[in-house]
Structure 1
Amino acid sequence: MGTSSRTIAVIAAISTIWPNAALPQGSAGTIGTGTNVAGTTATTGARAAAGATAPAPAQGGLQFDIGVSSKLTVDDNFQLKQTSTGTSTIWDNRVDLNLSSVTGVQDFSLNGSGVFRYADIPGRSISGFEDPTIRLRYRLDGVNSRLTLTGRYRFVDREFLDPFQIEQEETNFNGLYAGGGTVTFKNAALNYVTGINDPLTFTLDLGHDEKDYDSTAVASNPRLFDTESDSIDANVSMKVSPLTSLRLSAGLTDYSANDPNQTRRKTTDYAIGVVQDINPVLVLDAQVGYTEVETDTVLGTRRRDGATGAVTLTQTLPNGSVFAALDSALNQNGTRTTLRFGRDLQLPLGNLRASVGGTKTPGGDTYVVATVAYSRQLKSSDITVSLNRAVSTNNINEDVLDTRLTVGYGYEIDANSRINLALNWGRSESAGIGAAPTIERTTLRASYSRDLTQDWAMTGGVQLRKRTDSTPGVGDADSNSVFLSLDRTFNFRP
């Protein structure tokens, strides 16, 4: 929190390759997974299990997408305690409702979902409506401008959250913490761009992010507390010649936390950058700036400020590109400098994007950082690999080294059935400043999906989870579960 985020777009795009195959937290049949927009019948379970992305709705008029899923899970240590207190049986009946409309100038989507849950967990029972979630997205395209609005609300029991999925949705590391209680997510964002086709382009970004934990969650882990963040970023891009563009940017982030120190932090960023085509295949993107971080707590006020900068050289090759990037950013802990070298390779049957480098933290230590995104599509199978290793600063001002690995493999047995294997592994450990615990989590899932009819699909399988945690009183835990689900996704136009 409070980290300068106004670095050049090329570095952000390459250095934040996020795992995109996290194991699903809910059932396989959800809206947006392989929806057949041409008719009203469900996409096959085999294709849904493959993680297919739904095509955009046809232009004109409203479209309703409805997904229903009933999933039965039996887990021998659902709460991941050091010593299991018994077997849990969970029956989730998930409903997804999506309203969308796409025209030549606008794109609207409103999604609502929830779970009718019946669960027998050692120490408590659950019966009723759980995990209400609402997502909104609206985009309006003008002749020379574009407006995009997004929003999300979710209230959920933390015991039913998959941390890997949450990190994917939040697009940053949130920690692999254990514990119960509930959490409410509230997010909203606005992006406005004008002068898209002009030499002078203006971009404005507004964002709001809020997390609220109940008393049970706060009591279970002192690292959990309510946080709220508001940000505004303005960017002006000027094309001064066919080979040169200049960029001016300014940003303000206001962060507050209901932690023991009652933290309130304001981060201000200013930067000027240039994009220069050195030759037809070599591009320089450089930026210098200034960041000021002011933190107010019950202990007083602390201020850090200093210069920031970033430079990237990208060379286009016949089968992709190669780049070198140096980035220096400032947050509440001090200056963090990262040097990376990367390669983007286009393969006949897939793609590979990878980078490796080192990050020097404010504490003076240097850590290896890396990103890998690999996908390969064969005749009857596919494989994806995603790795992200980076240093970040958490809500209590600890520098943390996070490593995430995701591997997915799918094999189509025939037109109606498919086998999927997925592995998520994560490790979080101290990166010098602070005393962050070392937490390691592993989730291995194997499933078989089959189309029962044109409308219904069945998925069954096993899931193994393991957690090691150096936090006092938490310790290590593992669980084994089996699951079976029936799913249907269909759509229609009124």
Structure 2
Amino acid sequence: MRRRRTYRLTGGLAAAGLVLLGIPPAAAQEQGGLETQLRFSQRLTQEDGTLSTTTGLGVTLSSRTRTEAFLFSVDSGLEQDFDGSALQQKDPRLILSYSRESLSSALAADFSYRQSDVDALSEDDDISDGVLRLDEGLLKRYSGNLSLQLGRDAPFGATVDLGYSAKTYSETSDPDLLDEESVNATVALRFDLDPRISAGLRSSFSETDRDDPGQDTDSASIGGTLDFGVTKTLSTNAYLGYSRVTKSTPGFPEDVQKGLAYTLSFTELRPNGDLSGSLGSDIDEAGRRPPARLDRSLELPSGALRAGVGLSTSEDDDLRPLLSFSYDRGLKRGTFGVKLDQAFSTDSDGEEALNSDFRVTYRQELTPLSSLQAGVVLRDTDFVDDANTDSRKLQLDLVYRHALAEDWNLVGGYSHSISDKSDEDRDHSSKVFIGLEKATRWRF
């Protein structure tokens, strides 16, 4: 067994949480002062024939001034089945962030932790990071980032970015679910040649370690950048550098890929939205990838539209389109949204897959005190290598909420999911719940 390398972050880890209410932790607030939110919920749930009760608790502390911002949010649930099983913690979650900026410098740091089911579909997931796995068990995610900017108001500046992330699995049966941790560091220098032209140097390094027999990957790059403001509305960017990727798989010799990398991009600001595009070539775990992309955003009278199309080659050298689309519309008494994203990713063994995420959300106020919310989520993982098992999950959600006295809400809902592996039968799961929830805010 290969010994794993461990990277530590300073700071403590508190119990963390389950976001049980519709109030976002980072709700907009006036400048100055400390705002506190307390959340409580009690739910009775029947899922696949099992009756349980869940008590949810959460707290958020946030503060924002002209130069500083602070956020601490923790949520967790305690679940008890009526079959006499032990009390269990349910979906803990923690968010901690701090930022401070001045005219000449800026500092930002954040840390997050969350635990969820392995096959849970979360809007926070990055579809370019990992693949969908349909398995029992729990997934714990840790991440930390530190960013420092210097010389923001000077013709010469520097930026340092440090990052850490980790994924650990428990109570799973799929041997392909391997724990992994990653570190990355980027140093960038900026030289303003005149008000429209800026040059720079950038060097980055990343390392991903996976439990044996996973594929470990080291990546390093160095290059130069050039930003040029063509007009007041049109800006361009160019990067030319050198990349090196080393893949280590137990039982096989090291696979080293290296070569030139480049990116050309532009952004045009328009009165009703932006137009942007890029063309480049770089090396990652799956080899050399020459992506091209074009994106357009539109601000409409009743909503916002964003659409994009990209072209990229997979490891089998086939040219594949990558689509993205989102549309949000405000209704007379509600909202409607649809979103589609696609991205290439690799699993713990370095196998390449195309991830697709499609979502539809709808919310309608039935009366001044009640509302109905519906959602559809489809997540699909299509491996480039036909020897790997593709996976797909469809989830349907329906939630009714009614406001009671003293900030209490009555909430009830139904959820149904369909999980499908290409070589197995479909698995259906249903959940019905009803409960009470309360949220209270104070400003100091």
With normalisation by structure 2, the TM-score equals 0.89
In the alignment, what sits opposite 1:318? Answer: 271
Report the identity percentage.
Answer: 23
Contact 1:337 1:361 in 2 (8 A): no
Q: 1:255-294 to 2 correspondence within 5 Å?
A: 255-261=208-214, 263-294=215-246
Report the alpha carbon displacement of residue 120 of structure 1 after superposing the two structures with TM: 4.9
Q: 1:64 aligns with which of 36, 46, 64?
A: 36
Q: Is 1:95 matched with 2:47?
A: no
Report the alpha carbon displacement of residue 199 of structure 1 after superposing the two structures with TM: 2.1
Distance 2:89 2:382 in 1: 36
SS at match of 1:59: coil
Q: 1:119-198 to 2 correspondence within 5 Å?
A: 119-120=81-82, 125-154=85-114, 156=115, 158=117, 162-165=120-123, 168-170=124-126, 172-198=128-154
Distance 1:27 1:194 in 2: 36
In the alignment, what sits opposite 1:305? Answer: 258
SS at match of 1:164: coil
In the alignment, what sits opposite 1:11? Answer: none
Residues 230 and 438 from structure 1, CA distance in 2 versus in 1: closer, same or farther, beyond 3 angstroms?
same
More strand by share: 2
Distance 1:114 1:162 in 2: 16
Q: 1:42-441 to 2 correspondence within 5 Å?
A: 54-56=27-29, 58-60=31-33, 62-76=34-48, 87-120=49-82, 125-154=85-114, 156=115, 158=117, 162-165=120-123, 168-170=124-126, 172-214=128-170, 216-217=171-172, 220-261=173-214, 263-299=215-251, 300-432=253-385, 435-441=387-393
Distance 1:179 1:120 in 2: 24
Residues 172 and 125 from structure 1, CA distance in 2 versus in 1: closer, same or farther, beyond 3 angstroms?
farther
In the alignment, what sits opposite 1:442? Answer: 394
Distance 2:219 2:148 in 1: 22
SS at match of 1:364: coil
Report the alpha carbon displacement of residue 440 of structure 1 after superposing the two structures with TM: 1.0
Q: Which runs of 5+ in 1 are unaligned?
A: 1-24, 34-52, 77-86
Report the alpha carbon displacement of residue 459 of structure 1 after superposing the two structures with TM: 1.6
Matched positions, count:
427
Contact 1:69 1:93 in 2 (8 A): yes
Contact 1:131 1:157 in 2 (8 A): yes
Contact 2:328 2:337 in 1 (8 A): yes
Report the alpha carbon displacement of residue 170 of structure 1 after superposing the two structures with TM: 4.8
Distance 2:165 2:150 in 1: 25
Contact 1:27 1:71 in 2 (8 A): no
Distance 2:106 2:352 in 1: 37
Amino acid at match of 1:183: L
Residues 55 and 171 from structure 1, CA distance in 2 versus in 1: closer, same or farther, beyond 3 angstroms?
farther
Q: Which runs of 5+ in 2 are unaligned?
A: 1-16
Report the alpha carbon displacement of residue 26 of structure 1 after superposing the two structures with TM: 5.2
More helix by share: 1
Q: Is 1:479 matched with 2:432?
A: no
SS at match of 2:24: coil
Contact 1:182 1:213 in 2 (8 A): yes
In the alignment, what sits opposite 1:465? Answer: 417
Larger relative contact order, structure 1 or 2 (CA cutoff 8 Å, min sep 6): 1
Q: C-alpha deviations, 1:436-457, integer Å up to 9, x for none?
A: 3211111111121110114101
Residues 314 and 109 from structure 1, CA distance in 2 versus in 1: closer, same or farther, beyond 3 angstroms?
closer
Contact 1:443 1:463 in 2 (8 A): yes
Q: C-alpha deviations, 1:160-211, integer Å up to 9, x for none?
A: x62334xx24564432212223333221110111112222221111011112
Distance 1:321 1:211 in 2: 36
Q: C-alpha deviations, 1:313-340, integer Å up to 9, x for none?
A: 3333332232332132211321112222
With normalisation by structure 1, the TM-score equals 0.81
Q: C-alpha deviations, 1:34-69, integer Å up to 9, x for none?
A: xxxxxxxxxxxxxxxxxxx72136513x43321111
Amino acid at match of 1:59: G
Q: Is 1:490 matched with 2:443?
A: no
Residues 180 and 342 from structure 1, CA distance in 2 versus in 1: closer, same or farther, beyond 3 angstroms?
same
Distance 2:346 2:365 in 1: 42
Amino acid at match of 1:74: Q
SS at match of 2:389: coil
Amino acid at match of 1:211: K
Residues 198 and 491 from structure 1, CA distance in 2 versus in 1: closer, same or farther, beyond 3 angstroms?
same
